[in-house]
Chains A and B, each alone.
Chain A
Amino acid sequence: MLSERNIAMSHLRKAATAGAVVLGLIGGLPAAAQTADPPDIDPRAAEIVDAAGAFLAEQDTVSLRWFVAYDDILDGREKLTRLRSGYSLLDREGGYFAYVEEGLNTRELYFNGTTLAIYDVEEDAYVQAHIAGGYDTLVDRAAQEYGLEIPIWSVLSTRYRDQYLRGAESATYLGLTRIGGQEAHHIALSNYDEDWQVWVATDEAAPHLLMLVGTNPYVQGWPQYRVYFSDWDFAPEIGEDTFTFAPGPDSERMTLPKPSAE
């Protein structure tokens, strides 16, 4: 049955993943505007952001919890807040697991290097797709072939390790602050398409992300997404069957259609 919780799902896959995707935006997009002025990049801000991206890309195993709140503007006036939360576990050699809650829907993603399985917990239904490769391959093929977006894929991807600041036209270091009792650097970045802020832990040994906020300046109401990261663990315990999905005896297998290129 289609319910309100389900409705927000697809909205979320754009905005919520975008929340986690902030780093991808930072580095992944080429410079959108051909401005004559050179980018106004604060060296310290660039250093902190680049250090955080490099640190996350170097981690072979990582687990974290995340919480996304994003805005949905109705009729150009009323702003609703959607929520999405979950847990991600990545082993760059072994696979990937994610637990996603959105509304009353629960999804589990299993990827063991050869097969991607998405499990609908409430419906006891699952779908499988054959994807061979690592985490970056999973992200690419799931998006291109099936239109699926892996939660917070850009935060854990190694692709933008050296390109975090390529898309930013301005970066400013706003100083120190605290998030949940943890000291963090507050950095504001922007380009022609989007404004976003990053909070990076001041721990020089592990400069991980603590919070991301992105703003769309071209939509009435200036919708934002806010991503909170917690429980970072760079040496999690991973079982043997963590990344392999085992359907139950009554589980229902669904088909996974491939959307057209358009």
Chain B
Amino acid sequence: MIRIVSGLLIFVLAVATSPLGVMGLSFDASRAEARPGGGFTGGARPAPRPSGGAKARPTTRPSVSRPSTGGRPPQATLPSTRPAPAPRPSTRPAPSTRPANPSVRPPVGTLPSNPGATRPSRPGINPPPTTLPGGGNRPPGLKPPGNGNRPPNMGRPPGVKPKPPIHRPPGYRPPHHRPPGYRPPYHRPPYYRPPHYHWGNYYYHPSWGWFFTAALVGSTLVFTSELPSDSDCEKIVEDGETLYLCDGVLYRSTYYEDEKVYEIVSDPPDAPEPETVFGLSLTDPMTRGAVVRDLQQRLQDAGYDVGAVDGVFGSSTETALMWFQYDNGREATGMVDAETAALLGYENPNPPPPSGDTGPSDTGEEPQE
């Protein structure tokens, strides 16, 4: 009887929990409904999977004994492809710093009933309490200029202080005044620009301004298209030629490329010819003269390239001089000092005094031979 009852009970349970009720597929489209997690439930889709995996796994693996050989190696022999977890920085204080007994915390019930009475006010919200500087709480914000002892307000009117009237003649305008909408004329641009490219390449010299060159028979002449406008020029007529002396620079009126231009004849006289070789170096404007020519000749005789022996101490002469000093164990300064002059064969190794005394100029003019 017990067997019959138990068998009947098993049958009823089997029918009640028959998988047909679960596996039975229904294609009724009216069952489709939106789900908050996306997707839908419908007859064409199986029942939603439980979250967390594609397949519900048993919580515990069955303890099935496997053969020791074959299959997967033991877990311990698998190479670790993941780096060892680095120790995370602890943002929490060490446990040792924590109070051992949390009961030492202040009780919640000790909060004051009026927090604003005891807590400091937030900066910028409430004005700081009136405390003297250095006497306690520093006021928020930047310290105003001054020593803090501002004079009391004596009723100074607001705005800028009016200036006393200045009597000007009618029509007066301050310097560089331009009426509204002013545009500079085409011949006087607001910047200093070189002339037109009609003349080809231009170069700039601080004394001449913009100039250009022209290759002529036997020489290369330097021209400017106009005389300097910021200086008074003196007109000189000599031997049928017309010359202009402007700030010490001599210009010759020349007809070139169907235009009247000015050839620069001389250099400004503010560069006196040196009297001694001592102290010669590259200067602006370049030093020139017979002394420089003699220095160049000696450097060239010593096997150094000075460019042309033209009596102008230019960059080529400086380079040759620096190489000469370097090859002779001297510091390559590019300036003719006493030792360099002696190495170049100048007689007097002692340089003249730097003062303006006009001593004998035979210090370095005669060769040693």
Question: What CA separation (Å) do A3 and B237 show in the bound complex?
Answer: 27
> Within the complex, which residue of A3, A9, A125, A253 is in contact with B258, where a contact is CB–CB below 8 Å?
A9
Residues of B within 8 Å of A13, CB to CB, are: 258
A9-B259, A125-B242 given; 13 more Cβ-contact pairs under 8 Å: A9-B258, A10-B258, A107-B258, A118-B255, A120-B255, A127-B255, A253-B240, A253-B253, A254-B260, A255-B263, A257-B216, A257-B221, A257-B254
In the complex, A104 has a CB within 8 A of chain B: no
In the complex, A259 has a CB within 8 A of chain B: yes
Chain A stretch 76-121: residues in CB contact (< 8 A) with chain B = 105, 107, 118, 120
In the complex, B35 has a CB within 8 A of chain A: no
Size of the B side of the interface (Cβ < 8 Å), in residues, is 26
Residues of B within 8 Å of A252, CB to CB, are: 242, 253
Pair B216/A258 contact, Cβ less than 8 Å: yes
Residues of A within 8 Å of B187, CB to CB, are: 1, 3
Interface string of B255-271 (1 = CB under 8 A from A): 11111100100000000
Least CB distance from A260 to B in Å reads 5
Q: Which residue of B lies closest to A146 (CB)?
A: B255
Q: List 24 A-B contacts (CB under 8 A).
A: A1-B226, A6-B198, A6-B259, A9-B257, A9-B259, A10-B257, A107-B258, A120-B255, A120-B260, A253-B240, A253-B253, A254-B242, A255-B241, A255-B252, A255-B255, A255-B263, A257-B216, A257-B254, A257-B256, A258-B217, A259-B216, A259-B217, A260-B215, A261-B217
In the complex, B248 has a CB within 8 A of chain A: no
- Which residues of B come within 8 Å of A, CB atoms? 187, 195-196, 198-199, 214-217, 221, 225-226, 237, 240-242, 252-260, 263
> Within the complex, which residue of B195, B215, B241 is in contact with A253, where a contact is CB–CB below 8 Å?
B241
Pair B195/A2 contact, Cβ less than 8 Å: yes
Pair B253/A260 contact, Cβ less than 8 Å: no
* Chain A interface category by residue count: 20 to 34
> Within the complex, which residue of A6, A7, A256 is in contact with B255, where a contact is CB–CB below 8 Å?
A256
- Which residues of A come within 8 Å of B, CB atoms? 1-3, 6-7, 9-10, 13, 105, 107, 118, 120, 123, 125, 127, 147, 252-262
Least CB distance from A105 to B in Å reads 8
Least CB distance from B289 to A in Å reads 27
Least CB distance from B225 to A in Å reads 5
Q: Which residue of A lies closest to B256 (CB)?
A: A257
Known A9-B258, A107-B258, A253-B242; judge A260-B263 contact (CB<8 A). no
Residues of B within 8 Å of A253, CB to CB, are: 237, 240-242, 253
Question: What CA separation (Å) do A10 and B241 show in the bound complex?
Answer: 24
Residues of A within 8 Å of B254, CB to CB, are: 254-257
Least CB distance from B298 to A in Å reads 33
Q: Which residue of B lies closest to A258 (CB)?
A: B217
Pair B198/A10 contact, Cβ less than 8 Å: yes
Least CB distance from A126 to B in Å reads 8
Q: Which residue of A lies closest to B242 (CB)?
A: A252
Question: What CA separation (Å) do A6 and B234 show in the bound complex?
Answer: 25
Q: Which residue of B lies closest to A262 (CB)?
A: B215
Pair A259/B215 contact, Cβ less than 8 Å: yes
Question: What CA separation (Å) do A35 and B195 show in the bound complex?
Answer: 46
Pair B226/A2 contact, Cβ less than 8 Å: yes
Residues of A within 8 Å of B258, CB to CB, are: 6, 9-10, 13, 105, 107
Question: What CA separation (Å) do A218 and B187 show in the bound complex?
Answer: 36
Residues of B within 8 Å of A125, CB to CB, are: 242, 253, 255, 260
Nearest 10 CB-CB pairs, A to B? A127-B255, A254-B255, A254-B253, A9-B258, A7-B198, A2-B225, A260-B215, A252-B242, A258-B217, A257-B216
Question: What CA separation (Å) do A9 and B225 show in the bound complex?
Answer: 14
Q: Which residue of B lies closest to A8 (CB)?
A: B198
Least CB distance from A145 to B in Å reads 9
Q: Which residue of B lies closest to A13 (CB)?
A: B258
Least CB distance from B228 to A in Å reads 13
Q: Which residue of B lies closest to A148 (CB)?
A: B258
Question: What CA separation (Å) do A153 and B257 show in the bound complex?
Answer: 18
Residues of B within 8 Å of A257, CB to CB, are: 214, 216, 221, 254-256, 263
Least CB distance from A40 to B in Å reads 39
Question: What CA separation (Å) do A125 and B226 show in the bound complex?
Answer: 14
Least CB distance from B245 to A in Å reads 15
Question: What CA separation (Å) do A102 and B198 show in the bound complex?
Answer: 15
Residues of B within 8 Å of A261, CB to CB, are: 217
Q: Which residue of A lies closest to B220 (CB)?
A: A260
Residues of B within 8 Å of A7, CB to CB, are: 196, 198
Least CB distance from B176 to A in Å reads 24
Least CB distance from B87 to A in Å reads 70
Residues of A within 8 Å of B260, CB to CB, are: 120, 123, 125, 254
